[in-house]
């Protein structure tokens, strides 16, 4: 467990811990986390699309994952910090594997490419929730 008042480390969309360095403004402007890890081809592709089509990025880029699930009684339940970490790690790894298998136009991305990436993120999160539902450590 974590000491009282200390939250678990945040996880990026690829299921890796976020460890941004630098000062606060640099962390805000560096959406790719280039200071701490290699920039992935899909990150560069999304950046290119957003530069060429300003305003559309919010609708097509993957959103933050919802850290809720449907309980056995059918009600929506908020995940604990530990559950959310496990979910984000697994969903991130699923997403990374799915994106690597997609045929994308990295140099001149289209709206279809962005939709494929968003669908990969949504599918990875759905699969992760189904897998974790049967994990005894997730409860």
Q: What Cα–Cα distance (Å) separates residue 8 from each residue in 29, 45, 70, 88?
A: 23, 30, 23, 12
Confidence category of residue 57, pLDDT binned at 50, 70, 90: low
Residue in 63, 120, 60 with CA at minimum distance from that of residue 95 = 120
Q: Confidence class of residue 27 from pLDDT cuts 50, 70 and 90?
A: very low
| pLDDT at residue 71 greater than cutoff 90 | no
Residue 129 has pLDDT above 80, yes or no: yes
Cα–Cα distance measured from residue 92 to residue 9, given in angstroms and rounded to the nearest whole number: 14
pLDDT score for 47:
86
> Looking at 5-138, which runs of residues are DSSP E strands?
68-70, 76-78
Cβ neighbours of residue 102 closer than 8 Å, sequence gap 6 or more: 116, 117, 120
Mean per-residue pLDDT for 99-128?
Answer: 91
> Residue 29: is its pLDDT beyond 70?
no
Tell me what the mean pLDDT of segment 74-86 comes to.
87
So what's the pLDDT on residue 68? 85
Percent of the chain with pLDDT over 70: 70
């Amino acid at each position: 467990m974590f000491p009282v008042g200390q939250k678990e480390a945040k996880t990026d969309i690829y299921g890796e811990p976020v460890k941004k360095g630098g000062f606060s403004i640099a962390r805000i402007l560096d959406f790719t986390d280039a200071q701490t890890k290699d920039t992935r081809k899909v990150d560069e592709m999304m950046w290119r699309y957003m530069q060429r089509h300003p305003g559309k990025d919010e609708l097509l880029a993957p959103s933050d994952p919802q850290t809720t699930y449907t309980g056995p009684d059918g009600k929506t339940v908020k995940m604990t910090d530990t559950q959310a970490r496990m979910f984000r790690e697994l969903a991130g790894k699923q997403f990374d594997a799915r994106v690597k298998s997609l045929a994308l136009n990295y140099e001149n991305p289209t709206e279809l490419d962005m939709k494929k990436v968003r669908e990969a993120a949504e599918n990875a999160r759905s699969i992760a929730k189904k897998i974790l539902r049967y994990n005894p450590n997730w409860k």
